[in-house]
């Protein structure tokens, strides 16, 4: 679950991370009031679940696709500006009047950036924060690294740009500091982070304290990622977070009811919300025209790859998991059929703990409940295969049956 920047900043502040002053506003008048409280010089930032906001552009909904095309083909002449004629999602304001005008220009518009896709994102709130004098920018994050089964700090003295770009152009500028999960936080980790960033004296002490707060935030929220980019050395000597990104592990939300309330469903794909509400949590909407129902994440990825290899485009990732209820199959098909782009469906089941006959019952029940007009290809292997095939044969429903995945991919691409 992703959070907005202002929500992430609040959580960082609660856990001892120094952040620049600021509050969220939903109207231009509120933005003006906050700017007055902060002394007039502020930055007004659109709050959406996507990066690249400063270089993004604000347009009407009908113009989003055209603007996305311009940003991807000619960014130099179309990217947004913090000051200037090309209004971006991050604006500098020197007075309360300018802050109000900036909020007026941002709120209610669709922000299109490289990361939003052609549909853009509707801006409903803005963060109004102090316009800090930045002397040096850094990158600092804490993530969960499965390969070493622990939290990992990623630090770089080259902040303000995407860490992927730094990794590609100057990998030596990135430091990785592991936190031993058995020991938990140890002060040397904070000192090491500061040293790797090139800080010394009081700034190093501030950075070490901030790193501890960052780690505490990650642990207390079950975050999969807590990122500050940029972490800044300010003109007054402070070391503080100027931006913040926080993603919480969905599997841990059951023990964070307060954090679950921070979820902004308007920022998520409607079909993904529908899938979660119907008990199909492992669903991700994609841009293709072939719907997929598969058991197991690895097999789902292999299925998508095979569809691509056959010349098709998957419309979704869907790991239906170990199925013991036919209704979950029905619900999965309901979600897929809500996508108007879907022109064929591939069901690929390798039954181990998942029983083929349960899948077959679900497909038959779905045909009873819905008017399914798109072709359906099924590749079934494993537990209770004979029972499942018998159910399908006796049902009279029209499905294309295949024995191996390569054949199934060819058939579904042809059917689509």
The C-alpha atoms of residue 186 and residue 239 are separated, in whole angstroms, by 20
Catalytic residue, from 98, 100, 227, 361: name it: 227
Residue 215 known to be catalytic: no
DSSP SS3 for 230: strand
* Active-site residue, selected from the candidate residues 6, 68, 138, 139: 139
CA–CA distance, 247 with 4 (Å, rounded to integer): 9
> Alpha-carbon distance 267 to 48, whole Å?
7
Alpha carbons 363 and 164: distance in angstroms, whole number: 43
What distance in Å separates the CA atoms of residue 173 and residue 167, rounded to the nearest whole number?
A: 8
Alpha-carbon distance 389 to 397, whole Å? Answer: 12
What six digits make up the tokens of 9?
């900043």
- CA–CA separation, 383 vs 179, rounded Å? 43
Q: Give the residue among 52, 211, 45, 220 at the shortest CA–CA distance from 130.
A: 45
Sign of torsion, CA 311 317 321 323?
A: negative
Which of helix, strand or coil describes residue 96?
helix
Active site residue 60: no
Catalytic residue numbers, as ranges: 139, 227
């Amino acid at each position: 679950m992703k959070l907005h920047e202002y929500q992430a900043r609040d959580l960082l502040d609660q856990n001892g991370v120094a952040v620049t002053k600021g509050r969220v506003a939903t109207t231009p008048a509120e933005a003006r009031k906050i700017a007055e409280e902060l002394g007039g010089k502020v930055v007004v930032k659109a709050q959406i679940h996507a990066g690249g906001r400063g270089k993004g552009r604000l347009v009407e909904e009908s113009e989003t696709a055209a603007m996305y095309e311009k940003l991807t083909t000619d960014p130099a002449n179309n990217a947004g500006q913090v000051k200037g004629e090309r209004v971006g999602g991050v604006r500098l304001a020197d007075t309360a009047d300018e802050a109000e005008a900036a909020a007026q220009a941002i709120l209610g518009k669709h922000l299109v950036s490289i990361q939003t896709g052609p549909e853009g994102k509707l801006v409903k709130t803005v963060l109004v924060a102090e316009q800090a004098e930045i002397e040096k920018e850094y990158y600092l994050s804490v993530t969960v690294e499965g390969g070493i089964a622990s939290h990992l700090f990623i630090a770089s003295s080259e902040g303000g740009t995407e860490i992927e770009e730094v990794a590609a152009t100057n990998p030596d500028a990135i430091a990785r500091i592991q936190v031993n999960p058995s020991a938990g936080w140890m002060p040397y980790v904070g000192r090491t982070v500061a040293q790797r960033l090139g800080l010394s004296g009081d700034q190093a002490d501030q950075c070490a304290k901030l790193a501890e707060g960052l780690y505490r935030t990650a642990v207390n929220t079950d975050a999969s990622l807590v990122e500050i980019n940029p972490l800044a050395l300010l003109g007054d000597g402070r070391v503080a977070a100027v931006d913040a990104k926080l993603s919480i592990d969905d599997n841990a939300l059951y023990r964070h009811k307060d954090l679950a309330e921070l979820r902004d469903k308007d920022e998520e794909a409607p079909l993904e919300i529908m899938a979660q509400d119907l008990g199909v949590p492992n669903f991700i909407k994609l841009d293709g025209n072939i719907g997929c129902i598969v058991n197991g994440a690895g097999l789902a990825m292999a299925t998508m790859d095979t569809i691509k290899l056959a010349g098709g485009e998957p419309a979704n990732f869907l790991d239906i998991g170990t199925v013991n209820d036919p209704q979950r199959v029905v619900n999965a098909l309901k979600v897929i059929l809500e996508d108007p782009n879907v022109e064929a469906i591939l069901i690929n089941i390798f039954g181990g703990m998942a029983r083929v006959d349960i899948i077959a019952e679900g497909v038959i029940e779905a045909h009873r409940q819905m008017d399914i007009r798109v072709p359906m290809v099924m590749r079934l292997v494993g537990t209770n295969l004979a029972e499942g095939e018998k159910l399908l044969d006796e049902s009279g429903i029209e499905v294309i049956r295949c024995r191996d995945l390569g054949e199934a991919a060819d058939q579904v691409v042809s059917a689509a």
